[in-house]
Structure 1
Amino acid sequence: MMPGGMNPRKMKQMMNKLGMSMDPIEGVTRVTIETAEGTYLFEDAEVVAMTMQGTTTYQLTGTPKFEGAGVIDSAPVEAEISDDDISLVSMQANVSLDAAKAALIETNGDIAEAIMKLGDQ
């Protein structure tokens, strides 16, 4: 059973209805994100490609190490939540923008999980 008591088959049907698909990328051993301040390294990360309305986004799960200015630091990374994601969740779950944003924060930016969470209420 999936969170919220929804079985995986129903969840897949709901996602198909919304035009969504989620596919794990197998065999990922390392993900590197380079910024002006340094580099985030994710060892043994889990990556899921999510396609919705013709746009593919990638969800990364793992514990990063930050390398910058000669320092390696393990730091939690919070998901960035865009206004488009908030609007999409709000429309699909038929809730206010504030409720959609709160659900996205609670689910670390996972759109499908946020929609399902709000649908259970």
Structure 2
Amino acid sequence: MLGGGGMNPRKMKQMMKQMGIDVTELDVEEVVIRTDEEDLVFDGPQVTRMDAQGQETYQVVGEPESVESGAGGSGAGSAAELTADDESGGSGVAIPEDDVMIVAERAGVSEEDAIEALEAEEGDLAAAIARLE
């Protein structure tokens, strides 16, 4: 969780709750951070979600493996990708199935609507969610 400089973890959790900060440990198998140059793949990381005044913050703790950008994660074939030029002659942006699920869940829409929004926003998750809300 958070380092309290020797503070009792139970007391820290209680103080954070009083301040309106909700901390949740997530059971995560893999985290991928994509940059222009590389993908950082964390296998079995410790992930904590902190919700403070409606703003969610995620903390990832673990040792990443650096993978060349676009080479995929460490799991063989773990991220099925959809290409946005199937029916609509779209932009040709590869949309990971995980992204579709995230957008559909966060915006409360069908996977088809999530795919359309992701295609329209060229794969940008935040913009696709905002478009649907």
What's the TM-score once normalised by structure 1's chain length? Answer: 0.49
Structure ID, larger Rg = 2
What's the TM-score once normalised by structure 2's chain length? Answer: 0.45
More helix, by proportion: 1
| Higher RCO (Cα < 8 Å, 6 or more apart) | 1
